[in-house]
């Protein structure tokens, strides 16, 4: 079925807001904003108390992990799961901005600074479905399926140049 996109928060195609946060090592990081990023940015909202989130951690090498809550709990998760080399930020503001209600939740921000795809990701396959949908120019796998059946009225988003080159077009 793929990642389940919710209708809460920023809509796909909207500019991602400027969020400046510190990662777990204290370095400033801009998650998005008006100015384009050098490449797509994938956010994965997680929690140290979420068992599904922990199962996705081995697949998070190119993602920015975003958590909130007690810093000590976040640091313990970083240590216990060997995430020291991963970009991991603790930001209640990010979760509120994207109106994340359930975890794990992913948001893909295109290099153009817009929200390209988002959804609840309960498995590696769900996470991959969001990335594939984005590469194909859709907000979700569900939008892709609806577009294959025009009576549903799904509207694709334009693929990014990075996405086009990654799928060989």
Query: Is 1 within the bounds of a domain?
Result: no
Domain range for residue 93?
19-163
CA distances from 2 to 99, 142, 166 (A): 20, 7, 20
- Looking at the whole model, is its pTM more than 0.85? no
DSSP character at residue 63: S
Query: Is 8 within the bounds of a domain?
Result: no
Parallel, antiparallel, or unpaired: how do β-strands 115-120 and 28-32 relate?
Answer: unpaired
pLDDT, residue 167, reads 41
Distance CA 22, CA 3 (A): 28
Query: Is 34 within the bounds of a domain?
Result: yes
Kind and range of the H or E run holding 65: strand 64-67
pLDDT, residue 136, reads 84
Distance CA 83, CA 169 (A): 34
Query: Is 6 within the bounds of a domain?
Result: no
pLDDT, residue 163, reads 44
Alpha carbons within 13 A on the beta-carbon side of 91: 28
Residue in this structure with the two tokens 């992913």, named with its chain if needed: 106
Burial class for 79, CB neighbours closer than 10 Å (0-12, 13-18, 19+): exposed
Residue in this structure with the two tokens 């209640």, named with its chain if needed: 92
Query: Is 64 within the bounds of a domain?
Result: yes
Task: Indicate which CATH number applies to the domain containing 47.
Answer: 3.40.30.10
Query: Is 4 within the bounds of a domain?
Result: no
Query: Is 2 within the bounds of a domain?
Result: no
pLDDT in 10s for each residue of the chain, 169 residues: 455 556 677 888 898 888 889 888 899 988 876 655 567 888 999 999 999 999 999 888 788 999 988 888 999 999 999 999 889 999 999 999 998 988 999 998 888 888 888 888 999 998 888 888 888 888 777 777 888 876 655 555 555 554 444 443 3
Would you give the distance in Å from CA 141 to the centre of its chain?
15
Q: Work out the end-to-end distance of the chain between its first and last CA atoms, rounded to an integer number of angstroms.
A: 26
pLDDT, residue 67, reads 92
Query: Is 7 within the bounds of a domain?
Result: no
In the chain, the number of structural domains is: 1
pLDDT, residue 119, reads 86
């Amino acid at each position: 079925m793929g990642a389940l996109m919710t209708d809460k928060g920023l809509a796909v195609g909207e500019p991602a807001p400027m969020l400046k946060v510190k990662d777990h090592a204290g370095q400033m990081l801009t998650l998005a904003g008006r100015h384009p990023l050098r490449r797509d940015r994938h956010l994965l909202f997680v929690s140290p108390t979420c068992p599904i989130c922990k199962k996705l951690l081995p697949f998070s090498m190119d993602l920015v992990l975003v958590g909130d809550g007690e810093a000590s709990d976040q640091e313990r998760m970083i240590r216990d799961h060997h995430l020291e080399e991963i970009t991991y930020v603790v930001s209640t503001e990010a979760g509120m901005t994207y109106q994340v209600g359930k975890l794990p939740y992913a948001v893909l921000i295109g290099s153009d600074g817009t929200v390209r795809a988002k959804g609840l990701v309960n498995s590696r396959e769900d996470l991959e479905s969001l990335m594939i949908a984005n590469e194909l120019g859709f907000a979700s796998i569900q939008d892709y399926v609806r577009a294959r059946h025009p009576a549903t009225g799904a509207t694709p988003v334009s693929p990014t140049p990075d996405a086009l080159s990654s799928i060989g077009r």
